[in-house]
Structure 1
Amino acid sequence: MNTKFELDLTFIPKELKVLLELIQDKNDEYIQENKDEWFIDIDWDYFLKLAMHHRIYPLVYLKLKEVGSDLIPSQVLQTLQAHYQKNTFQMLHLSGEMERISELFTKNQVCSLFLKGPVVAYDLYDDISLRTSKDLDILIQKSDLENAEELLLKQGYTNTKETTTQNDKKGRNYHISYFHPYKKIEIELHWRLHPYPINQPTFEELWERKRNSNFTSYPVLFLGKEDLLLYLSVHGARHGWFRLRWLKDIDQMLKQQFNYKKVNSLQKKYQYSHMIGQTLMLVNYLLNTKAHKEIKLLSRRRSKKLAQLALLYIRKRAHSHINEFKNLNNYHTRYLFLLMPTSRKILFILTLFYPSSKDEQTLPLPSYLHFLYFPLRPFLWIWRKTVKLVQL
């Protein structure tokens, strides 16, 4: 990608810069040349916290193990090794359940596409131990939601929310979570790739372009290459790329072969151009990976601005939905507004007035009165803000 744009990394801590170097590919010689400088005056506790938060500790552990510098404290390697081994077992555990759920859904006529998890780890890294996953994300048709939920409940899963309002399956929401108390596995059933009003392909379109993983003995279906690239890019963009693992996934994807005309066609059709541009600029600048010249950047100026804004999430280690520093929620709302194409901004504003689970928690109502959450939402919002100010 040929661009003179440079990100302002002034406030990026040394520990994060070192992590960015360690997760790059084919830079072993460069690391050996600079390791003595990198590992002096480094806050190893903070380094470990960053590696864990960004979910890149498997890659970091293997790279540090190869470096073999006396400047790396033994407890740092031991901690990373313990988490690496734990993650390997977790991924194997998820792999088995992924295969079982795929078979369960298929035999009960529920079409399913696995969005992330072990199937994507194997596709991108050829080794499931190199990527972390905390749950299984499964895309189904909305018409199959009740059937899929019934199947999961019979398998011992429970809905993570005690009650689900009728608005949860409409408007802004796009998935429901289930947890198995014995297996300690969480499954998210999605009926949309992204929350409304983001444009996205229909399930039928994604199904036509699906792939079958050769990782498991029973067929596990997941997104086609072009769809996966766009999905991971939009997902990361929505969350401000607050986990470097997502950028590393894109980095791995760009090493594969694509139907570049299809990528360009899809990003234009669904108005993802500025988000794709942001993604490619971040991967290029932070991980030194250039996208194929045939992938068109259709919204350079806006993409550059979005790339710079994402650094706040990466630097602050802040989840986009947790107010870990002042005014993050307001910042994130403005950030999401900038992500929206002009044609969807009005719809995005309207979703802010749509009832949420917080409204139900503030004022529980029986299901037949849920429609009252619409006119009551402004008052419930003011009430929550007032209570919060009083508690400060």
Structure 2
Amino acid sequence: MIKQSDLNLANVPKELTVILELLKNTNRECMTKKFSELFAGVDWNLFLKLAHHHRLFPVLYSKLKGIGEGLIPPFVMQKLANDYKRNTINMLQLSAEMEQVSKVFAEDKIRVLFLKGPVIAHDLYGDISLRTSSDLDFLIPIKDLSKAEDILRKLGYEKDDYIKSVLNDWKWRHHHVAYFHPEKRIKLEIHWRLNPGPSFEPRFDELWKRKRKSHLLTHSSVYLLGKEDLFLFLASHGARHGWSRLRWLLDVHMMIEKDMDWKKVYNLLRKYHFQHIGAQALHLAAKLLNSNISEEMKPILDSKHSFQLAQDAIFYLEHMVNLHTEPIPEDVSRYHLRHIVSLMSVRQKVLFYLSMLHPYFEDTETLPLPKQLHFLYFPLRPFLWIWRRTRKHALS
């Protein structure tokens, strides 16, 4: 067992520390005795708000319903019970849709790897009702995107054209596109990369060779990432969002509890410049969720500055940051950008800053040019950027 330094959690709300204690413990008798003291002075409305913000209410309900009566207000248990039931129904609906999508794509010879959703809930928790999912995320080869769009259109899905692109930068700047079914109220996200670019990551063919077949009972075969690839994806996804929702960290904790080839994990993280991100995830899981960090994981934790990266992520827990709802407060936006850059390796930073020389769609809005002259945005970009900054300061 590797000794972990303490993270500073002084400014984390008491209600969130209660949630963390609930997630750490499994022995019901010990929990009842311990929480009779810990629950004193808890703002239960804030507790519920945090449980939903972090998408942890299903697993919290499964733990709290076994604690002695009188410790938790009835309205709290009723709210959690109702949301647990709604989530179970939602996960069953997503499971059915996942099977249909997998089947029709297979019939058209499109390989599909499901990244999150019911397959991850079943794989990590053994019960799809214990994890929330708002949509279905899956990865396909980029060459099959057009064919996939035609299939989804026939199934009644409508594309959310939120991506604005110039000179085909969508292929590497972005990593997924969303589709919505207006009748089923189901959202799908088709990924052609695990993470937005510029970044290093395994090619689809490599991921497909290491795929696993889901044991979730379905009539059609459903595939997900191999264990080590899944850890890389979950760690990089959580880090990119500042671990602002603890559900992502709980996923990592559940992976740590499984049989993993940590030497393979280390090699993957190192090859694709994610070692510091993997180390950040392990530090957070060890401190916040009491994850068992073994000697096999020591090479990953040797990453420089990883403990400081873990401490930096506590900011998101202190302020209940929501990066998915606009507008994001200016101070949070600035902090998040700095944190994202701090997560990058030296080579990733070089790629990131070089990518800023490539035209952005906002350049076309600043100075509209005919499509055949879009190549001129390369030399013009620095001047257009300076113009926008000058205008912004003048307006301020």
Residues 66 and 347 from structure 1, CA distance in 2 versus in 1: closer, same or farther, beyond 3 angstroms?
same
> How far is 1:260 from its partner?
2.5
> How far is 1:367 from its partner?
5.8
Structure 2 residue 70 is the aligned partner of structure 1 residue 70: yes
Q: Matches of 1:81 and 1:388 in 2, distance apart?
A: 50
Amino acid at match of 1:214: H
Q: Matches of 1:43 and 1:378 in 2, distance apart?
A: 52
Query: Which residue in 1 is equivalent to 2:252?
Result: 250
> How far is 1:323 from its partner?
5.5
Query: Which residue in 1 is equivalent to 2:300?
Result: 297
176-185 or 297-306, which deviates more: 297-306
Residues 132 and 389 from structure 1, CA distance in 2 versus in 1: closer, same or farther, beyond 3 angstroms?
farther
Partner secondary structure for residue 260 of structure 2:
coil
Residues 381 and 316 from structure 1, CA distance in 2 versus in 1: closer, same or farther, beyond 3 angstroms?
farther
- Decide whether the 8 Å contact of 2:4 with 2:286 is kept in 1: no
**Alignment match of 2:228 (pick from 223, 226, 231):** 226
> How far is 1:35 from its partner?
1.6
CA RMSD, Structure 1 to Structure 2 (Å): 2.5
- Decide whether the 8 Å contact of 2:234 with 2:252 is kept in 1: yes
- Decide whether the 8 Å contact of 2:282 with 2:301 is kept in 1: no
- Decide whether the 8 Å contact of 2:257 with 2:292 is kept in 1: no
Residues 381 and 234 from structure 1, CA distance in 2 versus in 1: closer, same or farther, beyond 3 angstroms?
farther
Residues 319 and 362 from structure 1, CA distance in 2 versus in 1: closer, same or farther, beyond 3 angstroms?
farther
Structure 2 counterparts to residues 124-163 of structure 1, below 5 A: 124-161=124-161
Q: Matches of 2:250 and 2:176 in 1, distance apart?
A: 25
Structure 2 residue 321 is the aligned partner of structure 1 residue 318: yes
Query: Which residue in 2 is equivalent to 1:96?
Result: 96
Gap regions ≥5 residues in structure 2:
none
Q: Matches of 2:215 and 2:125 in 1, distance apart?
A: 14
- Decide whether the 8 Å contact of 2:118 with 2:133 is kept in 1: yes
Residues 162 and 47 from structure 1, CA distance in 2 versus in 1: closer, same or farther, beyond 3 angstroms?
closer
Query: Which residue in 1 is equivalent to 2:242?
Result: 240
Structure 2 counterparts to residues 253-268 of structure 1, below 5 A: 253-268=255-270
Q: Matches of 1:266 and 1:279 in 2, distance apart?
A: 15
Q: Matches of 2:27 and 2:116 in 1, distance apart?
A: 27
Partner secondary structure for residue 183 of structure 1:
coil
> How far is 1:349 from its partner?
1.8
Partner secondary structure for residue 106 of structure 2:
helix
**Identity across aligned pairs (percent)?**
45
- Decide whether the 8 Å contact of 1:56 with 1:131 is kept in 2: yes
**Alignment match of 2:274 (pick from 248, 272, 275):** 272
- Decide whether the 8 Å contact of 1:48 with 1:76 is kept in 2: yes
Gap regions ≥5 residues in structure 1:
none
> How far is 1:78 from its partner?
1.1
| 1:119-153 deviation per Cα after TM superposition (whole angstroms, max 9, x unaligned) | 11000011000000011111011111111111111
Partner secondary structure for residue 297 of structure 1:
helix
Query: Which residue in 2 is equivalent to 1:281?
Result: 283
Q: Matches of 1:369 and 1:90 in 2, distance apart?
A: 48
| 1:344-369 deviation per Cα after TM superposition (whole angstroms, max 9, x unaligned) | 21111233454556667778877656
Q: Matches of 2:332 and 2:375 in 1, distance apart?
A: 30
Q: Matches of 2:302 and 2:330 in 1, distance apart?
A: 30
262-271 or 178-187, which deviates more: 262-271
Amino acid at match of 2:39: F
- Decide whether the 8 Å contact of 2:277 with 2:306 is kept in 1: yes
User: How many matched pairs?
Assistant: 391
Structure 2 residue 349 is the aligned partner of structure 1 residue 348: no
- Decide whether the 8 Å contact of 2:115 with 2:225 is kept in 1: yes
| 1:248-268 deviation per Cα after TM superposition (whole angstroms, max 9, x unaligned) | 111111111122221122122
Q: Matches of 2:382 and 2:93 in 1, distance apart?
A: 42
Q: Matches of 1:132 and 1:125 in 2, distance apart?
A: 11
Query: Which residue in 2 is equivalent to 1:327?
Result: 331
- Decide whether the 8 Å contact of 1:35 with 1:69 is kept in 2: no
Structure 2 residue 44 is the aligned partner of structure 1 residue 44: yes
Partner secondary structure for residue 290 of structure 1:
coil
Residues 64 and 4 from structure 1, CA distance in 2 versus in 1: closer, same or farther, beyond 3 angstroms?
closer
| 1:149-189 deviation per Cα after TM superposition (whole angstroms, max 9, x unaligned) | 11111111111126753545323111111111111111111
